[in-house]
Amino acid sequence: MKSKKLGIGLLLLLAFTVTTGTFAYWASGVAGDDAATTASVTIGEGNQVTTTVSLGAAVNSQGANDLVPAGFAEAGKIESLTLTFDVDWASFGLDGSGLTGDLDVTFDSAVNGTSANVLALFNASGLTGYSITTDDSSSTTVTITITMDEPASVLEYNSVVNENVTLGFTFTVVPD
pLDDT at 101: 84
75 within a domain of the structure (yes/no): yes
pLDDT at 144: 95
85 within a domain of the structure (yes/no): yes
2 within a domain of the structure (yes/no): no
- 85-131 per-position pLDDT tens digit: 988 887 665 556 677 888 899 999 999 989 999 999 999 999 999 88
Q: Which residues of 103-124 are buried (b: 16+ CB within 10 A; e: fewer)?
A: bebebebbbbeeeeebeebbeb
CA distance 88 to 78: 30
151 within a domain of the structure (yes/no): yes
55 within a domain of the structure (yes/no): yes
82 within a domain of the structure (yes/no): yes
Per-residue pLDDT of the chain (176 residues), as tens digits, is: 556 655 565 454 444 444 444 333 333 323 333 344 456 566 565 568 889 999 988 888 888 888 999 998 888 899 999 999 988 887 665 556 677 888 899 999 999 989 999 999 999 999 999 888 877 677 889 999 999 999 999 999 999 988 889 999 999 888 87
58 within a domain of the structure (yes/no): yes
pLDDT at 40: 59
Which is nearest to 58 in space by CA: 159, 148, 140? Answer: 148
AA letter at 1: M
pLDDT at 162: 87
Cα dihedral sign for 111, 117, 123, 127? positive
Q: How many domains does the chain have?
A: 1
Residue 34 is part of which domain span? 27-175
122 within a domain of the structure (yes/no): yes
